[in-house]
Structures are given as C-alpha cells and as structure tokens.
Amino acid sequence: MPSPNSPPEAPPSATIGLAPPRLDLSALPPRILRELRASHVGETVAVSLYDGVAGATTDPEVLRFAASHRRVERRHLRLFEAVLPPERRSGPMAFWRWSGRVMGALPAWLGPPYFYAVVAGVEAWVDGHYARQIALARRLAPDPDLLNLLEACRLDESLHARDATRLDPAPPWTARALAGLAVFLSRLGARAARWV
Ligand SMILES: [Fe+2]
C-alpha cells in the first residue's frame, strides 16, 4: 500500500496520447455544438470538483484518489478546450468552477463514504451523458475523431465510477441521497450549459 506521501498512481485512462479532433465548427449542427459546450462545462466542473477536495479533508486515500483522477479530468478538459474556442464556450465559467469546488469539498468534508458515493453517482451519470452524445453524434455528425474523443472520455468516466464504487460499495442512505442530489444538479447544469 502506498504511503500518504507517495505520488498518486495514474489510473488507467483511454485518453492518454489522444489528439484533439480537428473539427470544422461552422459545419457542425447547432445541436452538436451545444453538446460540446455542455461537455466542456462538465470537464471544467470535474477538475474543480477534485480541486475542492484538497482543503476539505485530510484522509490520505481520498486525497490520493482526487489527485490521480484530477489528472485525467484535466486531460479531458484540455481536449475540449482544443475543440471549442473561448467564444464558443459557456459564459459563466466562474460559476461552473465554484459549483464544482462545492460538489467536491462538501462530500469530502462529510467523509469518505459521502465523497465516493458522490463521485460514483456523478461519474456513472457522466458515462450515460457521453453515451447519449455518441448516439447523437453518430446520427448528426459522424466524425470518427469526434466519436473517438467522446468514447475515450466515456470510458474514463466509467472507470472513475467503478473506482469510487470499489472503495465504498455500500454507502449509507444519507450518502446515497447526497449523490442523488449531485446527479440531479449535474443533469440541470448540463441542460443549462447548452444554452448559457
Ligand atoms: Fe472527464
């Protein structure tokens, strides 16, 4: 078992070495552009969620989990930043970052079962979010590089959900309720990010 001071182990990731797709944004259907906005916001929130953990807990396992998964989310965010120039992104980025920090800090402060339950719930929802985007892109914009990006991110998110579930497979109902609230807010946020 690694010591609390050892560098976080890199989780397996489908996005290592993945180049951002070169997309002609002017040729993409507006619906796909809105989905890309939502995913750019989602990845911003994910990085901020793991940022929020640092000051909220001293649990070494939670800190290691957050640091290693943050590296993957940072890579996702860079890929979406390369796809979407700033003028195409959602406007209230400071609000999205704040939301992410709260979504990480609160459960981490409450304790590991809350943190892992929220990560497992939200990442499982994000897995489905990417699966829906993949189905939509296949129909409206079947660019192989775009599909690769979405599928690689989906795989990473499903691994994160699995990692969190493995660390606490039976959280108390209060942690499951908090995770349900976090999923509800994520769904709401993704809807809003398509338009603002
Ligand atoms: Fe991600």
State the pLDDT at residue 84: 93
CA 41 to ligand 1 center in whole angstroms: 10
CA 60 to ligand 1 center in whole angstroms: 22
pLDDT digits (tens, 9 = 90+) for 89-132: 998 999 999 999 999 999 999 999 999 999 999 999 999 999 99
CA 87 to ligand 1 center in whole angstroms: 21
Whether 177 has a pLDDT exceeding 70, the answer reads: yes
State the pLDDT at residue 1: 44
pLDDT digits (tens, 9 = 90+) for 18-49: 778 788 888 889 999 999 999 999 999 999 99
Give helix 112-140 / helix 93-110 axis angle, nearest 10°.
140
CA 28 to ligand 1 center in whole angstroms: 22
Residue ranges and CATH numbers for the domains of the chain are 26-193 (1.20.1260)
d(CA 135, CA 58): 41
